[in-house]
Structure 1
Amino acid sequence: MIESAIEALFIVLDPSRLVYMFIGIGIGVVVGLLPGLSGTVGMSLMLPFVFGLDPYVGMALLIGMIAVIHTGDTFPSILLGIPGTSGSQATIMDGFPLAKRGEASRAMGAAFFCSMIGGVIGGIALYLTIPFARPLITSFSSPELFMLTMLGLSMAGLLAGKSPLKGIISGILGLLIGSVGSAPAVPEYRYTFDTLYLTQGVSLPVVAMAIFAFPIIITMLTNKGSVANHATLQSGILKGVMDALKNKFLVFRSAVIGVLIGFIPGLGGSVVDWIAYGAGQKTVKNNHFGKGDIRGVIAPESANNAKEGGSLVPTLLFGIPGSGTTAILLGGLTLMGLEAGPKMLTTDLSVTLSIVWTLVFANVFGALLCMILVRPISKISFVPGEKIVPFLLVLLVIGAYQSTMSWGDLIIFVMIGLLGYVMTILDWPRPPLLIGFVLALPAERYYWISIERYGWEWITNPIVIFLAVIIVVLLSGGAIMKRFSKDYEQGGIN
C-alpha cells in the first residue's frame, strides 16, 4: 500500500498534471468566491472538458477544484455576510461581525489555515479507509452492487431538506431522463420519439450543466447590481493563523466531525458547518459565538474541507454519490473510462491514491493562494452579476455542444435548464434528479443481472439484507441529524 502511494505521488508530481491541478484550484477559488455559485455548478462547467482526458489529468482538474471551493467561499461569507456556498453559512455568524470590526483579515487567516488542516485530515482519512474497504468491496457481486445503487437513490430524500417527498419525485424524474435511449438488458429503445439523437441517451454533462448552471444564469440576470457596497480589509492574517494554532483541539475535533458527516451519503455541505458550529459552541468555554468569536469561524471552516475527503469514500469505493457534486464526479469517472467500485481498489488503485495526494496538495496550495490574494480576490465580489453572465454562457454553450457535437445537445440543455429553473422557483431539490440520472442505468443493469443469475434468492443474501438495514438507518438517522443542525441554525440566527 505504501509503495503504491509513493508511486501515485510521483504520478501527481508530473508537471503536466500539476498544471491541471492548479487550474482546478484557481477555478475552485473563483467558484467559491462568487455568491450563488456552488460546487455543483463548478463541476458541471468542468465536466465536458474532462471527456477523453487521461484519468490522472482529469481527476487532478476535478479534485483540485472540489478541494478548494469551501476555501474560496470564505471571502463572501466573511467580507459580505453572504454565503459563497451552502457549506459556508455558519461562518457568517462570527466571520461577518469580525469583518465589521475591521478584523476581516484575521478571520480569513484563521479560516484559510483551518480549511487547509481540515482538507489534509480528510485526505488522510480517505487513505486510511482504503485498506479496510478493499476486502469488503471486492467481494461484492451484482446483488450487492444493486443494493448500493438503491442506497444512492435513497439519498434523494435526505438531499431534499424539508420535503423528502419532493426529493423522491425529483429522483424518479432523474431516473426517467436516465432511461432515455437503449435499454441495458433488452434490445429496445425507450422514449426516443423516433429521433436518432436520443437513441444514445441524454449526455451527462448536458444534464449537469442544465440543471445547476442554467438557473444561476437567469438568477444573475434578474438580480442586477453587486452584492456589497463596502468591505474593510486590514492586516491580521498571521494573527488568525495563531488563533487557529491556539485552538488546535477545536480544529481537530471539527475536522473529525466533517469526515464523519462526509461518510454519510446525503448530508454533506448543507449541514456539516452547522453541526460543527453547534458542537464547538457546546464544547468551547467562555465563548461568544454569534458576536464575533474567532472560534466560531474555526469550527465550521475546519469541518467543511474535511468533509470532502469523507464524502469521496462512498463515491469512489461504493459508487454512492451523496450530493450533487459527487454525483457529477461519478459521471466524470465514467467519461474518463473509470468505474466507481471494486476497480478503484484493484486495477485503478493508483488513480484512487492520486486523488488522495491531489486532495492534500490542493488544500495546501489553495489555502496559501487565498492568503496571498486576500485583497485582490475580494474585489471580484463587487462585480455585477450581469457582467459575469456572458463568460459563463460561452462556457456553457461550448461545454454542451462538445459533448456529442450535436445541436440536439443545445436543445436538451435549454429544455432541462428551464426545468431546473422551474424547480428552483418552486423550491424543489435538484441534486436528487442528477443522482437518479447517474444511477438509472447501473441500477437497471445490476437488477437484471441479479435476476438472471440468482432468480429471487438474492434477496435473502445477508449482505443485501444488511445494506437494506443501512438504508433505513441512514434515512432515519439523517433526518434526525438534519433536524439537529436546523435547531442550531435557528438558534444561531435568533
Structure 2
Amino acid sequence: MLDAMLSGLAQVLQWQTLGIMVIGMIIGFIVGILPGLGGAVTIALLLPFTFAMDPVQGLVLLLSMWIVTGTAGDITSVLFGIPGEATSAAAVLDGYPMTKKGMGGRALGNVLTSSGLGIIFGAVVLGLFITVIRPIVMLLGPPEFFMMVLLGLAFIVTLSGKNQAKGLAMVGFGLLLSYVGSDPSAGVPRFDFGQMYLWGGVELIPVVVGLFGGAEVLQLMLTRSSIASGSMGQTKLTGTMQGVSDAFRHWPALLRSSGVGVVVGMLPGLGGTVAQWISYGQARQTSKNPEMFGKGAVDGLVAAGATTTAKDAGSLIPTIAFGIPGGAATAVLLGGFLVLGVNPGQEMLTTKLDVTFSMVWTVILAGLLGVILALALVRPLAALTKISGTVLTPVLFMFLVIGAYTANNNWGDLFVMLGASAVGVICLRYDWPRVPFLLALVLGPLLEQYLTLSNTLFADTWLARPGVLIIAALVVVVVFFSIRSLLREKSRSEETGEPFRGTRTRAIRTIGKKK
C-alpha cells in the first residue's frame, strides 16, 4: 500500500505530468467562471486529448480541470451573484452581499481558502477509504459486480428528480444503444442496420461531446448575450488575507461542511447541488449568528466553499470502487477511465493501485495550487465573463468538432456528435434527463460482460450467493423509494392542479425572445 502511494506521488511529480496539471487547471478556471459550461461538459471535450497519454497523465488532466472548476465557480458567485457552477449557488447567498458591502476581497479569500481546505479533507477521506474498501472489493466476483451495476442503474433513475419515469425511459434508450455492435460472446453484428461503422458500436466520445457540449453551446449561441453583467472596476478586491484567516478561524464549520460534502457526494443520485444546501442548512443551525445568513455570514460562506470541492472527492469513492458514478461529471469521468484503459473496481484497487493514488495526489495538489492561482488571477479571469456568447460559440464549436473527430479520425463520429447534440437540445426543451441516458450507455457493456462471466463461471448458482442477495435487496429498496417518490409527486400535482412535469430550462424558454 505504501509503495503504491509513493509510486503514485512520484508519477504525478514528473515535470511532464505537472505541466499537464497546470494546463488542466487553467482550463478549469476558465470553465468555472463561465456559467453554463460545467465540469461534465469540459471533461467530455478533453477526453480526445487524453488518447496519446498514459493513464496517469490523462487522469491528471481531467481531474485537475474538474477540481479547479468547482473552486473557480465561486468567483462569479461572489463577484457578480452569478454561480459559475450549479454547485456554487450557495456561495451567492453570503458572498455577493459581502461584495456589495465592499468586502469582495475578503469574501473571495474566505471561499477560495475554504474550497482548498475542503478538497484536502475530501482527498484524505478518499485515500483512507481506499485502504478500507480494498479487502471488501477483493471478496467480490463477477456476480456481485453485475448486481452492483444493476444497483447503479437503479440509482440512475433518482438522478431524474421529478421526472423518474422519463429517467427510466432514458435508461432503457441508453442500454439499447450500448448493445449496438458486435456480440462480445458470439461475435455476431447486432443492430448495425447494415452499416460497417456500427460494427464497433456507438462511440462514447462523440455521444458525450454532443449530448452535453453540443446542447450547451447551442444554448449559449441562441441567448446572444454576455455571460455576466456589471463592471470589474466597481468590484473591490481588498482584505483578501482577512478572508483567508476567516476560513481557518471557523474551522468547526469547515470540518462539518466538508464531512457533509464527502458523505453526500458518495451517494449516487444526490450530487453537489443537494450537498451544498444540506451543508449550508447545518451551518446555519449550528451558527452563533444565524440571523446573518443570507446577509453576509462569514461561516455561511465557509460552509459553501468547503462543500463545493469536498463533494467531488466523495463522488470519486463509488466511481473508483464500484464503477457507480455519483453524478454527471463522474459519469463522464467513468467514460474517461474506460478510454484510458482503467477499469473501476478490483483493477484500480490492486494492479493499478498506484494509478488510483495518483488521483488522490492530483486532487490534493490541484486543490492547493488552484486556490493560490485563483487568488492571484481572479481579476483577469473574472473579466472573461464579459465575453459575448456569439464570440465564444465558434471557439467552443471548434472544440466540439475536434473532440468528436479525433476519437477515431472517422467522419461518422461527427454525425453521431450532431445527432447527440440534437438529442441533448430535445432533452433540454422537453425536460428529459440526459444523465441517465449517458450512464446507461457507459454501464450497458459492463452489465453484459459481468452477466456473461457469471453464467459461464457459476451457471445459475450465482443467484444464491450472499453478496448477490444483499445487493439485490438494496436494488429493491432503491426502486421502491423511487416509485414511492414518483407516486407522491403525482398525487401532490393532482391536488394542486399543476401539471405533473419538471420545469423546462430557463435559457431554452428564452430562445427566440432575444433580439
- Scaled to the shorter chain, the TM-score interval is over 0.9
Structure 1 runs not aligned, ≥5 long: 484-494
Alpha-carbon separation, structure 2, partners of 1:135 and 1:396: 41
Q: Deviations over 1:308-330 (max 9, x none)?
A: 11111111111111212111111
| Gap change, CA 1:264 and 1:93, over 3 Å in 2 | same
2:375 partner letter = M
1:427 partner letter = D
1:378 partner letter = A
Q: Does 1:259 align with 2:262?
A: yes
Match of 1:185 in 2: 185
Match of 1:67 in 2: 67
Alpha-carbon separation, structure 1, partners of 2:481 and 2:53: 39
C-alpha contact (below 8 Å) 1:155/1:432 kept by paired residues: no
Match of 1:234 in 2: 237
Alpha-carbon separation, structure 2, partners of 1:278 and 1:478: 24
| Gap change, CA 1:479 and 1:69, over 3 Å in 2 | farther
Match of 2:150 in 1: 150
Alpha-carbon separation, structure 2, partners of 1:330 and 1:10: 24
Match of 1:27 in 2: 27
Alpha-carbon separation, structure 2, partners of 1:37 and 1:478: 29
1:95 partner letter = G
| Larger deviation, residues 471-480 vs 36-45 | 471-480
| Gap change, CA 1:481 and 1:240, over 3 Å in 2 | farther
Instruction: Report the Cα offset of residue 481 of structure 1.
Output: 12
C-alpha contact (below 8 Å) 2:157/2:482 kept by paired residues: no
Match of 2:201 in 1: 201
Instruction: Report the Cα offset of residue 47 of structure 1.
Output: 0.8
Summarize the alignment of residues 107-126 of structure 1 with structure 2, pairs less than 5 Å apart: 107-126=107-126
CA RMSD of aligned residues (A): 1.9
Match of 2:512 in 1: none
2:90 partner letter = A
Q: Deviations over 1:108-138 (max 9, x none)?
A: 1111001100001111011101111111111
Alpha-carbon separation, structure 2, partners of 1:61 and 1:475: 36
| Larger deviation, residues 417-426 vs 332-341 | 332-341
Instruction: Report the Cα offset of residue 468 of structure 1.
Output: 2.2
Alpha-carbon separation, structure 2, partners of 1:360 and 1:78: 24
Q: Does 1:327 align with 2:331?
A: yes
2:29 partner letter = V
C-alpha contact (below 8 Å) 1:345/1:352 kept by paired residues: yes
Q: Deviations over 1:214-256 (max 9, x none)?
A: 1111111111121213352331211111111111110011001
Number of aligned positions between the proteins = 483
Alpha-carbon separation, structure 2, partners of 1:187 and 1:59: 32
Summarize the alignment of residues 61-460 of structure 1 with structure 2, pairs less than 5 Å apart: 61-226=61-226, 227-231=228-232, 232-287=235-290, 288-460=292-464
Alpha-carbon separation, structure 1, partners of 2:482 and 2:95: 28
2:288 partner letter = K
Partner of 1:73: helix, strand, or coil? helix
Instruction: Report the Cα offset of residue 457 of structure 1.
Output: 2.5
Instruction: Report the Cα offset of residue 437 of structure 1.
Output: 0.5
Partner of 2:408: helix, strand, or coil? coil
Instruction: Report the Cα offset of residue 3 of structure 1.
Output: 3.0
TM-score when normalising by structure 2: 0.90
Instruction: Report the Cα offset of residue 410 of structure 1.
Output: 0.5
Match of 2:47 in 1: 47
Match of 1:490 in 2: none
Instruction: Report the Cα offset of residue 474 of structure 1.
Output: 5.3
Alpha-carbon separation, structure 1, partners of 2:479 and 2:301: 30
Partner of 2:89: helix, strand, or coil? helix
Match of 1:58 in 2: 58
| Gap change, CA 1:400 and 1:105, over 3 Å in 2 | same
Alpha-carbon separation, structure 2, partners of 1:306 and 1:258: 5
TM-score when normalising by structure 1: 0.94
